[in-house]
Amino acid sequence: MPSIYDYPTVYDAIMRASTDQLDPEVETIDLLLREHGANAGRVLEIGSGTSPHGLPLAQRGHQVVGIDLSDPMLTYAQQTAQDLGVSNCYSKADLCDFTLNEDPFDCAIFMSETFPLFVEYDDLVNHFSCVHRHLKQGGFYVVDVDAHQKGYRHLNKVWGQNQVVLPGGFVNMRYEDHPADWMRGINHTALHCHIQTQDLNIVTADHWEIRVYSLWTLSVLIQSLNGWHLQGFYSYRDRSENIAQDASYYMLLVRQ
What pLDDT is stored for residue 241 in this prediction?
Answer: 96
Q: What average pLDDT score do residues 82-92 get? A: 98
Instruction: Report the topology of domain 157-211.
Output: S-adenosyl-L-methionine-dependent methyltransferases (2.20.130)
Q: Is the pLDDT of residue 7 over 90?
A: yes
HEC assignment per residue over the chain: CCCHHHCHHHHHHHHCCCHHHHHHHHHHHHHHHHHCCCCCCEEEEECCCCCCCHHHHHHCCCEEEEEECCHHHHHHHHHHHHHHCCCCEEEECECCECCCCCCCEEEEEECCCCHHHCCCHHHHHHHHHHHHHHEEEEEEEEEEEECCCCCCCCCCEEEEEEEEEECCEEEEEEEEEEEEECCCCEEEEEEEEEEEECCCEEEEEEEEEEECCCHHHHHHHHHCCCCEEEEEEECCCCCCCCCCCCCEEEEEEEEC
Mean pLDDT in the chain?
96
Domains of the chain, by residue range, sit at: 4-148+212-255, 157-211
Q: What average pLDDT score do residues 38-49 get? A: 98
What pLDDT is stored for residue 150 in this prediction?
Answer: 83
Confidence class for position 52, pLDDT limits 50, 70, 90:
very high
Q: What average pLDDT score do residues 238-244 get? A: 93
What pLDDT is stored for residue 22 in this prediction?
Answer: 96
What pLDDT is stored for residue 148 in this prediction?
Answer: 82
Q: What average pLDDT score do residues 26-55 get? A: 97
What pLDDT is stored for residue 177 in this prediction?
Answer: 97
4-148+212-255 architecture in CATH? 3-Layer(aba) Sandwich (3.40)
